Amino acid sequence: MQKRNVNRISDAVVRSGAVGEEAKLTEEKLMVPQKELLNYEKIFSQKTEFFSTCNPDTIEEVLCEHLRNKMKVEPKINATKYKIKYSHDQVGQDETVQKVDICVRILKVDDEKVCVEFSKVDGPNNLFHENFNDIMKNALDFSNDSVVAQ
């Protein structure tokens, strides 16, 4: 993942040394979001959101990788904002197919924190919560590292 972020930075300073060539990058350059971050507004309490100090590009990349490789879902990624939509089908015990449509947004809380918000667009609540819990446990647990004062 860090290698991909390094490739995004075009003005990296490369120095040669006794060990070989190594790229020296400032942490600020790695932390600059590549897309527009919309502001977070707490309108009502939502349990399907979490707060992070991680780079939003990293969160988006890990989430999309998990959706494609583990859940076999192709997400629709907004080109200008941190907004990802996807649909997930699941076959129930009675062989019926249930489908849930989910929207994930990454929003700016302050200069250091973002909110990752999961919203159900359509489908059963239980399938939405199963998706959220699976992604939190198996993909985005590393980024759930902050809280916001109430």
The pLDDT assigned to 17 comes to 42
- For residue 104, the model assigns a pLDDT of 97
Q: What is the domain partition of the chain in residue ranges?
A: 1-32, 33-143
Per CATH, the number for 33-143 is 3.30.310.80
Go through the chain and tell me how many residues it has: 150
- What pLDDT sits at residue 4? 42
Provide the mean pLDDT of the chain.
81
Q: What is the pLDDT of residue 5?
A: 41
Q: Are 83 and 103 in contact (CB under 8 A)?
A: yes
Indicate whether this model's pTM tops 0.85. no
Stretch 23-46: mean pLDDT, rounded?
66
What is the C-alpha to C-alpha distance for residues 63 and 57, in angstroms, rounded to an integer? 10
DSSP state of 139: T
Kind and range of the H or E run holding 126: helix 125-138
